[in-house]
A and B are shown apart, each in its own frame.
Chain A
């Protein structure tokens, strides 16, 4: 037990949980509502840095800083969504990708605020004591399960059906009596703020924040996980992350004794295997390993 939950194991499991949450939020945005968000790391990283800055530079109380950080992400998502959500998916892709790149750039260059590549100070765990990392893991577990449950319930609700209708035939959806642009904007703001929340909570997981955390690799990992697991399925994100990120970042790196001269090869191997997996999935199971199964529809 002690060995199983070593400090590094807790760190890795926390990271995996964050990825599960991000992939599930992306399922909501893309799989359910058809919004193309290639700026996952931007919302996540903004939440993380905003929280760290409010906590360390401005000395705000822990939970005040957390709530404020999420509010900042929500505001940014609202403005970005307002501009791009009614454009086509290519425009959404480019705009969100660019947004994430801007966030990474700002974090690197605005040294007065972020200390740039030197790194922001150390973000403490929410609760002190010997088990503080474990507490954080538990919080992440509860919140991640919460996101999955929300995804499940939403798919069966009228609002969820409206989002699916918008994804499927937006022109027709405008005749259903609901403001489709508003529905998308509210939903995008909410789910992106969710990514920001998990970013903020990643700050104490990472503890020491540096700009290199904000590379596009985060976004790609989340997308690959979702596509492997099944974009239409609330559990698709979970399954995909378990098969990709969990296997590599947790099982292999934590428990597999690899010769030290392999250490450099593993990340490259990981990317190659991700790529191969993605190609195989797209070829043989285009809707992910969970197939074309969607949530059962509302039972009347």
Chain B
């Protein structure tokens, strides 16, 4: 579904990601690593938000190395960035309906599915997203991406700032979304334990390079942990 071939990327002249090779199928693919390891940079590179510094990216067989983010969204890729992932001045309803700028199914049906998934949002529907609690705002951000009905969903630390209870429930929902819709999910996450519970495959980034890339099942946790201490 998504293939990266020797992708280098970063900011300006600074290179953060160094020749990353990756093959994401229709699975839950966790990207782990400590602060500054390059998880968000990888997500942004895939979503077309950074200028390529080398290598190629393909999505569903098409070369998208230099494809603009809006074109990628049209092709079926949605991202929930780590920061600035809502439209704070717009209401919950407006935030969600913005997901419907792509796709063909009726907007209302798609939004109703999000409200089924996150019933906590229903009473907040006409509230400005900027006035929501951290957890509610994350639901709006994920919900907006789901309304886009992507085939590949990029989630960058969606549980940041959530209480453990909320975080667990959001993780369960991510798995649920994957199983219901059969979409690929690329999940950047700090918390290795939580991510391993729902992931099919695990990638550990360390200093912008791949430290480990293995199936989640039966993975040696000490090796994952080692990727955090370099």
Q: With A176-B102, A178-B70, A180-B70 known to touch, is A171 a contact of B97 (CB < 8 Å)?
A: no
- For B72-93 the 0/1 string (1 means CB < 8 A from A) is 1110001101001111111101
State A177–B69 Cα separation when bound (angstroms): 7
Is the CB–CB distance between A161 and B94 below 8 Å? Answer: yes
State A217–B102 Cα separation when bound (angstroms): 43
Q: How far is the CB of A200 from chain B (nearest CB, A)?
A: 34
Is the CB–CB distance between A175 and B94 below 8 Å? Answer: no
| A165 within 8 Å of B (CB atoms) | yes
Is the CB–CB distance between A175 and B93 below 8 Å? Answer: no
| A164 within 8 Å of B (CB atoms) | yes
| B122 within 8 Å of A (CB atoms) | no
Q: How far is the CB of B218 from chain A (nearest CB, A)?
A: 35
Q: Which of B81, B99, B108 contacts A176 (CB 8 A)?
A: B99
State A300–B108 Cα separation when bound (angstroms): 6
With a CB–CB cut-off of 8 A, which chain A residues contact B97?
158, 161, 297-298, 300
Q: With A162-B101, A297-B93 known to touch, is A175 a contact of B84 (CB < 8 Å)?
A: no
With a CB–CB cut-off of 8 A, which chain B residues contact A212?
none
Q: How far is the CB of B55 from chain A (nearest CB, A)?
A: 21
Is the CB–CB distance between A177 and B84 below 8 Å? Answer: no
| B196 within 8 Å of A (CB atoms) | no
| B193 within 8 Å of A (CB atoms) | no
Is the CB–CB distance between A172 and B88 below 8 Å? Answer: no
Q: How far is the CB of A121 from chain B (nearest CB, A)?
A: 48
Output the nearest chain B residue to A299 by Cβ-Cβ distance: B93
Q: How far is the CB of B125 from chain A (nearest CB, A)?
A: 9
With a CB–CB cut-off of 8 A, which chain A residues contact B88?
168-169
Is the CB–CB distance between A161 and B86 below 8 Å? Answer: no
With a CB–CB cut-off of 8 A, which chain B residues contact A158?
97, 100-101
State A44–B87 Cα separation when bound (angstroms): 33
**Chain B 9-42 residues near chain A, CB threshold 8 A:** none
Is the CB–CB distance between B90 and A176 below 8 Å? Answer: no
Number of interface residues of A (CB under 8 A): 21
State A179–B48 Cα separation when bound (angstroms): 13
With a CB–CB cut-off of 8 A, which chain A residues contact B89?
164, 167-168
Is the CB–CB distance between B93 and A176 below 8 Å? Answer: no
Q: With A179-B68, A300-B107 known to touch, is A174 a contact of B49 (CB < 8 Å)?
A: yes
With a CB–CB cut-off of 8 A, which chain B residues contact A173?
87, 98
With a CB–CB cut-off of 8 A, which chain A residues contact B68?
174, 179
Is the CB–CB distance between A169 and B87 below 8 Å? Answer: yes
State A177–B100 Cα separation when bound (angstroms): 9
With a CB–CB cut-off of 8 A, which chain B residues contact A168?
87-90
State A167–B86 Cα separation when bound (angstroms): 12
Q: How far is the CB of B170 from chain A (nearest CB, A)?
A: 19
Is the CB–CB distance between B101 and A172 below 8 Å? Answer: no
State A88–B84 Cα separation when bound (angstroms): 17
State A162–B98 Cα separation when bound (angstroms): 7
Q: Which of B79, B87, B99 has the most CB of A within 10 A?
A: B87
Output the nearest chain B residue to A167 by Cβ-Cβ distance: B89
State A120–B60 Cα separation when bound (angstroms): 63
Is the CB–CB distance between B87 and A165 below 8 Å? Answer: yes
Q: How far is the CB of B49 from chain A (nearest CB, A)?
A: 7
State A39–B87 Cα separation when bound (angstroms): 28
Is the CB–CB distance between A300 and B111 below 8 Å? Answer: yes
State A164–B129 Cα separation when bound (angstroms): 13
Is the CB–CB distance between A175 and B78 below 8 Å? Answer: yes
| B63 within 8 Å of A (CB atoms) | no
State A164–B98 Cα separation when bound (angstroms): 10
**Chain A 115-169 residues near chain B, CB threshold 8 A:** 158, 161-162, 164-165, 167-169
The residues of B with any CB-CB pair to A shorter than 8 Å are 47, 49, 68-70, 72-74, 78-79, 81, 84-91, 93-94, 97-102, 107-108, 111, 126, 148
| Subset of 14 A-B contacts with CB under 8 Å | A158-B100, A161-B90, A161-B98, A161-B101, A167-B89, A169-B86, A169-B87, A174-B68, A175-B69, A176-B99, A178-B70, A179-B68, A297-B97, A300-B97
